[in-house]
């Protein structure tokens, strides 16, 4: 059975130490932790405390997600941040960090497409080199539809232009559906993804982040999704990502247990592809 995790966006109101406890109680192999939760923990603790916390749990923080960056301009501060969190995640048994592009749509529209793609590729290559120093993947992740990074075809093109083997993206089918990207376009993607998020979507037109459902509760064609994953020879972690603003620990525990069973059932499909 592939390794499974849950994204700490699912338990957004809880600190990272509670996420690790929940993962252990509910049978997950670890968590994907948001950059915001890591930063909150480090306000009153240091990185050594965090590493020991993860080690004592016996689990892994497979990745640190959603480091927001304006990719139009890269400076030493951003490069240092990528290196810092790459080093940290590596010590917690993880292998990727993800950056979320902050859209500057007006500035982007002023440029020729090829000039824009080259600019992004150059900046992403610099950041990927920082992660590469620690043997960590750098993934591009979107929270909202982005004029450039929403398209799998364009994203693949930009990644190829960087020439960096450790640069890729988060494969989140829900986000592509929110951005009105058809599965036919998703099927053209190359295997550049470092993590796969699992959540279902309801049968409605205007999807929002809070509409994420447990796999099996919606209309997403998981067999088709897993065929893409299989074709790309993906061997990494599958992470449940739901939306949760306010839940008690008891409800979180119940939710994660209820979600794990259909996740594992769907992942059995991989054995027959």
DSSP code for 194:
E
Q: Are 152 and 114 in contact (CB under 8 A)?
A: no
Whose CA is closest to 99, among 118, 85, 114, 109?
A: 85
Strands (E), 193-246: 193-198, 238-240
What class does CATH assign to 4-272? alpha beta
pLDDT of 103: 62
Residue 21 CA neighbour count, 13 Å, CB half: 9
pLDDT of 250: 62
Q: Tens digit of pLDDT per residue, the chain (273 long)?
A: 799 999 999 998 899 999 999 999 999 999 999 999 999 999 999 999 999 999 999 999 999 999 999 998 899 999 999 999 999 999 999 999 999 998 655 444 545 688 889 999 999 999 999 999 999 999 999 877 777 787 888 888 999 999 999 999 999 999 888 888 888 888 877 778 899 999 999 998 888 888 999 999 999 999 999 998 988 889 899 999 998 654 565 688 999 999 999 999 999 988 887
pLDDT of 153: 83
206-231 burial code (b ≥16 CB/10 A, e <16): ebeeebbbbbeebebebeebbebbee
The domain ranges of the chain are 4-272
């Amino acid at each position: 059975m592939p390794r499974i995790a849950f994204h700490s966006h699912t338990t957004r109101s809880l600190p990272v130490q509670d996420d690790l406890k929940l993962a252990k109680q509910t049978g997950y192999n670890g968590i994907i932790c948001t950059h915001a939760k890591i930063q909150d923990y480090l306000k009153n603790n240091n990185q050594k405390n965090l590493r020991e916390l993860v080690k004592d749990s016996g689990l892994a923080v497979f990745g640190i997600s959603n480091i927001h960056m304006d990719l139009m301009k890269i400076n030493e501060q951003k490069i240092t941040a990528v290196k810092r969190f790459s080093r940290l995640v590596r010590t917690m048994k993880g292998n990727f960090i993800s950056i979320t592009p902050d859209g500057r749509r007006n500035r982007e529209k002023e440029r020729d497409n090829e000039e824009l793609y080259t600019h992004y590729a150059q900046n992403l290559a610099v950041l990927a080199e920082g992660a590469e120093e620690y043997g960590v993947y750098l993934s591009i992740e979107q929270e909202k539809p982005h004029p450039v990074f929403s398209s799998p075809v364009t994203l693949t093109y930009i990644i190829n232009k960087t020439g960096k083997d450790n640069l890729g993206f988060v494969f989140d089918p829900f986000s592509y559906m929110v951005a009105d990207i058809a599965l036919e376009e998703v099927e053209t993607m190359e295997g550049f993804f470092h993590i796969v998020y699992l959540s279902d979507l309801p049968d409605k037109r205007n999807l929002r982040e809070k509409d994420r459902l447990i796999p099996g509760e919606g209309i997403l064609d998981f067999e088709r999704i897993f065929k893409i994953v299989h074709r790309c020879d993906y061997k990494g972690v599958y992470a449940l990502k739901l939306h949760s603003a306010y839940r008690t620990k008891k409800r979180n525990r119940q939710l994660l247990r209820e979600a794990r069973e259909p996740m594992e059932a769907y992942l059995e499909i991989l054995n027959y592809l």
